[in-house]
Amino acid sequence: MRTVYVNGVFCPENQGVVSIFDRGFLFADGVYEVTSVLDGKLIDFSGHMARLRRSMSELSIPAPASEDELLSIHRQLVDKNALAEGLIYMQVSRGAADRDFLFPAGDIRPSLVLFTQTGQLRDRPAAKTGLKVVTLPDLRWARRDIKTVQLLYPSMAKTEAKRRGADDAWLVEDGFVTEGSSNNAYIVNADGALITRPLSHAILPGITRSAILRLATETGLTVEERPFSIEEALAAREAFITSASSFVMPVVEIDGHKIGDGAPGEIAGRLRAIYIDEAVKTAV
Ligand code: PDD
**How many angstroms separate the CA atoms of 241 and 185, rounded?**
5
- Give distance in angstroms: CA of 284 to centre of ligand 1: 20
Q: Report the chain's mean pLDDT, rounded to a whole number.
A: 97
Residue nearest to atom 5 of ligand 1 (CA): 182
- Residue 268 CB partners (closer than 8 Å, separation 6+): 188, 238, 239, 240, 248, 249, 250
Judge if the beta carbon of residue 83 lies within 6 A of ligand 1.
no
272 CB within 6 A, ligand 1: no
Mean pLDDT value of segment 217-234: 98
Which tens digits make up the pLDDT trace of 17-66? 999 999 999 999 999 999 999 999 999 999 999 999 999 999 999 999 99
- What three-state secondary structure class fits 192? coil
Domain 126-282: CATH superfamily, name plus number: D-amino Acid Aminotransferase, subunit A, domain 2 (3.20.10.10)
Listed by start position, the domains of the chain span 3-118, 126-282
Q: Active-site residues: which are they?
A: 147
Measured CA to CA in angstroms, residue 164 lies from 63, 75, 135, 256, 257 at distances of 41, 39, 11, 10, 14
Tell which CATH architecture fits domain 3-118.
Answer: 2-Layer Sandwich (3.30)
**41 and 284 in contact (C-beta within 8 Å)?**
yes
Segment 84-140, tens digit of pLDDT: 999 999 999 999 999 999 999 887 899 999 999 999 999 999 999 999 999 999 999
Q: Would the CB of 235 count as within 6 Å of ligand 1?
A: no
